[in-house]
Structure 1
Amino acid sequence: MGKLNISRLFLVLILSYLSDRANGRVNFKALDAKLKQLKKPAVKTIQMKPSFDFKEEKSNTEKESSSKLLMSQTWQRSGSCPEGTIPIRRIRRKDLLRADSIDGFGRKPREIVSKSSTTNQKDSHFPFINNTNIILPPLINQSVAMLFTLGSNFIGAKGDINVWNPSLSSPHQEFTAAQIFVKNGPGDVFESLESGWTVFPNVYGDRRTRFFTHWTLDSYTSTGCFDLNCDGFVHTNPQIALGAAVEPVSTQLGEQYYITLGIYMDPTTSNWWLKYGDDTAIGYWPGTLFSFLNHSSTLVEWGGRIYNPNVKKPNHHTKAGMGSGQFASALYGKACFIRNIAIVDFSMALKYPDWVGTWADEFNCYSLYNDQESNGTSPVFYFGGPGRNPDCP
């Protein structure tokens, strides 16, 4: 634990120092205050593994056997971490200078919700669950294509997320992601945990596909961050780095790759664990962080998300690709998918949700399709699109 604490202390000091350098000065008073704040007794013990083991039966199909699970990361070609340490992505001065503000570095833009009480879609693709229309307030700076379930107490969610590298139209404050969300709390100050892959140049400095985590306590207003850019997530695994590039990626009608991700609450501690693959625990968000998620999640989402200030603006819509950049109707080998979707409730079993709904708020830009090939197989959720096109001006 000594090496781990020293590494984190060094990272925090460097971030504090570069914060003032980015503003054209070195604020030693603030640096000393930060150092004093950090001079407190080290945490001597952390939970190294979850106390649960959820079992799942997968329905193996021909398409599943033709896809490849990604377990390694690009950085591992250069070596491994010494015992007792974890991999931490290096933060440089240029990373901080890309942010709109130092305080906002490493966070998602705030999720702005329209005051309208309906989704206001022109194509009539409203969210439904159990054949009932669900009223969800539209996001005015994001576009989504998602599968969701709600109305129960969930303590886990997982899925196999097909990996692509879609294009972006603007590197500044634009991102595309394919991910799993678990949420609880009111819409204006919800708490959420999420993980998946993203292309986000403003945070990561390039257009590579990267494995990420994020959390918030207040709809991204002032809390939470990506990966290890703030206190919160406790990283315990020396082999998987947060924010690392995910390679190789899938190609049109070529090899298909995926990552298996799961977010699970430990019923004993209320800590939320992130798993990569079926059995590899990456780390956890302490249950003490949360007010709503300290018991369970009431909403789980799987799918794609685009952020850009020009989303939903006629004649100015972004050309950012979601998923593979192809519409969901292209199906396997062309469209992005999430399969082996499952939740965990207090029955402690991994299973497909009893009720699911779908929601694409710009169906002509980014579409979705929940496809069940045959009885006895779980559906495969396809989603994505190219953004601006003749039907999405």
Structure 2
Amino acid sequence: MALLVFYGGVDVKAEARKTLSEIDKKLKLLNKPAIKSIKSEDGDIIDCVDIYKQPAFDHPALRSHTIQGCQCSTQPVNTTRTRHGFFQMRPNNIFASETSTTEHESSPAMLTQTWQKSGSCPKGTVAIRRVKRKELLNADSLEHFGRDGPRTSFAVNTTNDESNSFGSFPAPEHSYANLYTPENNYIGARGDINLWDPLVQSYNESSSAQISLKSGSIENFESIEAGWMVYPNLFNAGGEPRLFIRWTLDGYRWTGCINHNCAGFVQTSKVIALGSTFSNVSTLHGPQFQINLRIDHDPGTNHWWLQYNNEVVGYWPAEILRYLKEKASMVAWGGDVYSKNVKPGHPYHTTAYMGSGEAASELFGSANFITNIRIIDDSLQLKYPDSAFFVVDEPNCYSALIYKAHRNSEPYFYFGGHPNNNCIYNQKE
């Protein structure tokens, strides 16, 4: 006779079977059938998925969406011939990139991704990192897997009068050091982000560096973000930084997520895989590496396009946007630490590093930096945001600094830190 195991009135075996069944269903939803799969030396599997069968098209608003510039479209909007003789999908308005003004020559122009050593995806597909069963098992809930939020708080503008509150978008469980633009109309942003592998205290914490564009109110805003991230729990891995995107349509209350973990972002690249590791990272007082990211609005379609180095990765489609459909009201560059143990109420602050873990004042070779910072506004000129200011919401824990070697040199935005005994908060009374 079979023995049924009950705990607190619950059939444990039945609950386990139900959980595994739900996980398998979620995996099938996230991992689309691959035309080709590539096993990377770092343990990742990259699936080459038919471009029209990617997760984006599970979004109800994108069921009849035609990919901009796709060769498989009957009426391509805009295509550019590449050196390989194929066509690359890209926005209608191309703002030329400047020649890098970075003064330190130890940073390479381009970083490859680790999986690229093991193969390549064929034409007509996009490269998508496969989600593993263990990653879903690590999640607090299947519904929340790969999601983030809520993210609303007020912080202090540390570059001006410290008594003034600055309405910012990150959250109660996020600590950040950001360079902000004043409120205006923005249709593009870019920057070279120094790449590190920061230590985090636990698997369910993350540390990242990114560019973000936002619009809407403090309570209900839209945001699109791109950068690198260390998040062991999400990627079932160690402390390797990974390329990521993140977005929300309602202040992270119900919508939005990281990478392809929910439908929305339309990928067009067969070369770049979101969530994959990089071939090199920076070392303290050693070689410095960086990634170039740019996000541009296409006025012809109202899509927001992401470009990594010289490769167009894809776009956030206009169909899912409202506040960001025509412009962004704010741009931010900087670092972010996510942990349950940040902000008031947690006497033992997380020891998670932001950036390299070194203070911003340590400068090049030690502190994390972003340079070649540029925006495009109503003037349609690619330029440094002269009125930019930085905000650090936990100045006892992390730091930031705008630094120029001399009057005519390129500004660097340095940020980061490693919380110590000064980073303490009293418990709630």
Is residue 160 from structure 1 mapped to residue 192 from structure 2 by the alignment? Answer: yes
* Higher RCO (C-alpha 8 Å, min separation 6): 1
Per the TM alignment, residue 295 of structure 1 is displaced from its structure 2 partner at its CA by 1.1
> Secondary structure at the residue paired with 2:212?
strand
Alpha-carbon distance in structure 1 between the residues aligned to 2:272 and 2:110: 11
Aligned to 1:330: 362
Contact 1:126–1:133 (CA under 8 A) maintained in structure 2: no
Aligned to 2:119: 79
Per the TM alignment, residue 61 of structure 1 is displaced from its structure 2 partner at its CA by 4.5
> Secondary structure at the residue paired with 1:295?
coil
Is residue 140 from structure 1 mapped to residue 172 from structure 2 by the alignment? Answer: yes
Alpha-carbon distance in structure 1 between the residues aligned to 2:276 and 2:257: 16
- Pick the aligned partner of 2:352 from 320, 328, 338: 320
Is residue 225 from structure 1 mapped to residue 257 from structure 2 by the alignment? Answer: yes
Aligned to 1:8: none
Aligned to 1:12: none
* Partner amino acid, structure 2, of 1:355: S
Is residue 200 from structure 1 mapped to residue 200 from structure 2 by the alignment? Answer: no
Alpha-carbon distance in structure 2 between the residues aligned to 1:29 and 1:335: 43
> Secondary structure at the residue paired with 1:77?
helix
Residue correspondence of structure 1 range 229-378 to structure 2 within 5 A: 229-277=261-309, 279-312=310-343, 313=345, 315-378=347-410
Alpha-carbon distance in structure 1 between the residues aligned to 2:103 and 2:331: 28
Is residue 62 from structure 1 mapped to residue 94 from structure 2 by the alignment? Answer: no
Per the TM alignment, residue 70 of structure 1 is displaced from its structure 2 partner at its CA by 3.2
Aligned to 1:98: 138
Q: Unpaired segments of 5 or more residues in structure 2?
A: 1-15, 33-56, 70-88, 425-429
Aligned to 1:3: none
Alpha-carbon distance in structure 1 between the residues aligned to 2:210 and 2:26: 37
Per the TM alignment, residue 28 of structure 1 is displaced from its structure 2 partner at its CA by 11
* Partner amino acid, structure 2, of 1:155: I
Q: Radius of gyration: which is bigger? A: 2
Alpha-carbon distance in structure 1 between the residues aligned to 2:306 and 2:375: 14
Greater shift in the superposed pair: 101-110 or 290-299: 101-110
> Secondary structure at the residue paired with 1:256?
coil
TM-score using structure 2 length: 0.77
Alpha-carbon distance in structure 2 between the residues aligned to 1:375 and 1:152: 26
> Secondary structure at the residue paired with 1:377?
coil
Per the TM alignment, residue 375 of structure 1 is displaced from its structure 2 partner at its CA by 2.2
- Pick the aligned partner of 1:51 from 78, 89, 92: 92
Is residue 176 from structure 1 mapped to residue 207 from structure 2 by the alignment? Answer: yes
Q: Unpaired segments of 5 or more residues in structure 1?
A: 1-19
Post-superposition CA distance 1:10-51 (Å, at most 9, x none): xxxxxxxxxx9662446999999999x979977565332111
CA gap of 1:337–1:26, structure 2 versus 1, over 3 A, is closer
* Partner amino acid, structure 1, of 2:103: E
Per the TM alignment, residue 247 of structure 1 is displaced from its structure 2 partner at its CA by 2.8
CA gap of 1:29–1:163, structure 2 versus 1, over 3 A, is closer
Contact 2:102–2:371 (CA under 8 A) maintained in structure 1: no
Alpha-carbon distance in structure 2 between the residues aligned to 1:136 and 1:30: 37
Per the TM alignment, residue 127 of structure 1 is displaced from its structure 2 partner at its CA by 5.4
CA gap of 1:59–1:76, structure 2 versus 1, over 3 A, is closer
CA gap of 1:302–1:135, structure 2 versus 1, over 3 A, is same
Contact 1:157–1:343 (CA under 8 A) maintained in structure 2: yes
> Secondary structure at the residue paired with 1:170?
coil
- Report how many residues are paired: 360
Percent same amino acid at aligned positions? 43
Is residue 23 from structure 1 mapped to residue 64 from structure 2 by the alignment? Answer: no
Aligned to 2:12: none
CA gap of 1:132–1:29, structure 2 versus 1, over 3 A, is closer
Aligned to 1:126: 158
Alpha-carbon distance in structure 1 between the residues aligned to 2:304 and 2:392: 28
Alpha-carbon distance in structure 2 between the residues aligned to 1:250 and 1:304: 16
Contact 1:264–1:272 (CA under 8 A) maintained in structure 2: yes
> Secondary structure at the residue paired with 1:151?
coil
CA gap of 1:89–1:298, structure 2 versus 1, over 3 A, is same
Alpha-carbon distance in structure 1 between the residues aligned to 2:299 and 2:265: 18
* Partner amino acid, structure 1, of 2:216: G
Greater shift in the superposed pair: 227-236 or 328-337: 227-236
Aligned to 2:8: none
Aligned to 2:36: none
CA gap of 1:272–1:196, structure 2 versus 1, over 3 A, is same
